[in-house]
Structure 1
Amino acid sequence: MKQVIILSLTFLLYASTGWSQSLEYQKQKAEKIEKGSVFTKIINRESPATIVYEDDDVIAFTPLRSQAPVHLLIVPKKEIPTINDIRDEDALVLGKLFLVAKKLAKEKGISETGYRLSMNINEDAGQSVFHLHMHLLGGKKLGPMLTQEK
């Protein structure tokens, strides 16, 4: 019993420090969510963007800093800060993100050579815009997603 308590306390201590967002990140995230996303400004035509696709639920545009010959952001018009915030009723729009990605990959000529779909969720993944979005990347060999540890 004593070992179980010690393991539980160790887990809680580690989880509260090693598996949580830094205080600075939490503060920046809260401020950005309160302020509203740059993607909503694009959706509302308050900020410029090169839009490549739009319907009632989804918009896709080129990012300011491309990281591949083909790099598009596919964004639901509904503001959802992270995957952790999705609800059952978001299932259709999330599925639509993938259908739009498939369509755009074909239009850009990368559907057969290969492409990557990526979503960054919270601090460890580098999320800086708190409006769910999918990166469509392709047009060259992209290499591994993560550095392989030996």
Structure 2
Amino acid sequence: MDENCLFCQMIEGTIPVQFRYQDDHCFVIQDIHPLAPTHLLIIPRTHMTDLNCSSMDNRQDLGHLLWICGEMANAEGIGDDGYRVTINKGHNSGQTISHLHLHLLAGRRLGPEA
């Protein structure tokens, strides 16, 4: 855990949050600045700054995050219409929180950029 990390603070309970889903490996919340009608964040409980900080030890957790994206898409009723899963890495990509997370976007036709 990183005590200065927003997502780690959510995990610890020091920042209140409404979980859309949670398990031992990750949790899902609504993005507070949605770029689409459905914009969820899938966040691992293990603090990793970004994909460059992942290792072979994390591969099952990373696979679990992708699996949860599909499960959440189906739960939200967007699994058949299509959705986008994005991971931002670094400033130029738009990453604003230094804790690896996936964006699940859907609910409208998505162009080259969300």
Category of TM-score, reference length = shorter chain: over 0.9
Aligned residue among 49, 56, 76 for 1:88: 56
TM superposition score normalised by structure 2:
0.93
Aligned residue among 38, 54, 63 for 2:22: 54
Greater RCO, 1 or 2 (C-alpha within 8 Å, sep 6+): 2
Who is 2:42 aligned against? 74
Measured in 1, the distance between the counterparts of 2:52 and 2:40 equals 22
Question: Which runs of at least 4 in structure 1 moved beyond 2 Å after TM superposition?
Answer: none
Offset from partner CA, 1:52-83 (integer Å, 9 cap, x none): 11000111111211111111000000000011
Who is 2:77 aligned against? 109
Measured in 2, the distance between the counterparts of 1:73 and 1:48 equals 16
Which amino acid is the alignment partner of residue 140 of structure 1? R
**Percent pairwise identity:** 32
TM superposition score normalised by structure 1:
0.72
Structure 1 residue ranges without an equivalent (≥5): 1-33
Measured in 1, the distance between the counterparts of 2:9 and 2:70 equals 25
Which amino acid is the alignment partner of residue 105 of structure 2? L
Q: Which has the greater radius of gyration?
A: 1
Structure holding more helix per residue: 1
Structure 2 residue ranges without an equivalent (≥5): none
| Shift of residue 36, structure 1, vs aligned partner | 2.3
Structure holding more strand per residue: 2
Q: What is the RMSD of the two structures over their aligned residues, measured on CA atoms?
A: 1.4
Measured in 2, the distance between the counterparts of 1:61 and 1:72 equals 6
Q: Report the number of matched residues.
A: 113
| Shift of residue 37, structure 1, vs aligned partner | 1.2
